[in-house]
Amino acid sequence: MYGSSKSNPSLSRTSIGTYVPPHRRESLPPTSETTASTVSNPPSRASSPDPYANTPAAFSRVSRRNNSLKDGRKTYTFQQIRERIPAPGSQTFVQAVRSREENPGPVDPLVPKPPWWKTICRIMVHLGMHPAAPEELWTRVHNRALLEASLTSQAKIPLFVELLNRRWEFKGHYEITRYEIFKGLSEEVKVFIESRKESKLWKWPETVNWNELLMTDWARVELRLVEDQSLGNPMEGM
């Protein structure tokens, strides 16, 4: 299971237990060759293991004592994830926040790498929202600057998937390889919204305005699983 290997806790967590994102750990070298282009295709690579393998079976019989799946994999509440990786919001791509006490140091405007607090700190794949998750996720275009910053910085981002019992499972660290913008009412947006409407995993409330979603500009984001066991599981110990 991804993230099960033992990692140095001092690299991934502060003294008070708060998770330290990989792109803020100076002792860890970069592990990818992500391109900064939002339209160029990423280099061809061997397909990553399917993070959704055996997921339907995993939905059955979640242990109430240790909050583990039937096969032993742990799950977490949304509140637990927010406590370990502090940031407001529950959207798909959550922006990192800088505490008032933390001194980020000077920012060199000539360096293309953005400061860490302008990148994504976690990805939340909500049930029934993304037909081709987790390798392809959709978000509204107002997140474009956040996507670009995380792409150019080659951020390794913890990704969590919502299960049928409304708990979350950590699926590994992912990085954005490419994203593309589609205008509202385009064929791509129509197909995406229709597939979301037809999802059997979630009963949509009657208040959902599907026409408004159709007219919205969307970004289709492509992600790749980072094959680096040293990154570990940010939720270890919970």
What secondary structure does DSSP assign to 48-88, as a single string? PP-TTTTHHHHTS---TTT-B-TTS-B-B-HHHHHHHS--S
| Residue 139 covered by a domain | yes
Residue 4 is assigned to a structural domain of this protein: no
CA distance 40 to 51: 25
Q: Output Rg (C-alpha) for the chain, integer angstroms.
A: 18
Q: Is residue 29 in some structural domain?
A: no
Residue at 49 is within a domain: no
In a domain, residue 125? The reply is yes
Structure tokens at 83: 């406590």
Sheet holding 120-125: strands in order across? 93-95, 120-125, 157-162, 168-182, 218-225, 136-140
Q: How many domains does the chain have?
A: 1
Whether 160 is covered by a domain: the verdict is: yes
Phi, then psi, of 74 in degrees rounded to 5: -85, 150
Residue 176 resides in a domain = yes
Q: Is the peptide bond before 134 cis (omega within 30 degrees of 0)?
A: yes
In 49-186, alpha helices (H): 55-58, 78-84, 144-152
d(CA 189, CA 9): 42
Q: Answer whether 0.85 is exceeded by the pTM.
A: no
158 Cβ contact list (under 8 Å, min separation 6): 19, 21, 85, 121, 122, 123, 170, 172, 173, 234
Phi and psi at 79, nearest 5°, equal -65, -40
Retrieve residue 167's tokens.
């708990």
pLDDT at 142: 85
Encode the chain (238 residues) as per-residue pLDDT tens digits.
444 444 454 445 554 556 666 656 654 444 333 333 333 344 444 444 444 344 333 333 333 445 778 788 899 999 999 999 999 888 999 999 876 554 555 555 544 556 767 889 999 999 999 999 999 999 999 888 999 999 999 999 999 999 999 999 999 999 999 999 999 999 999 999 999 999 878 788 888 999 999 999 999 999 999 999 999 999 998 7
Predicted local confidence at residue 180, as pLDDT:
97
43 in a domain, yes or no? Answer: no
By C-alpha distance, which of 187, 192, 160, 197 is closest to 73?
160
Report the CATH number at residue 159. 2.30.280.10
- Residue 146 identity: L
What residue numbers bound the domain in which 216 lies?
9-23+55-100+111-231
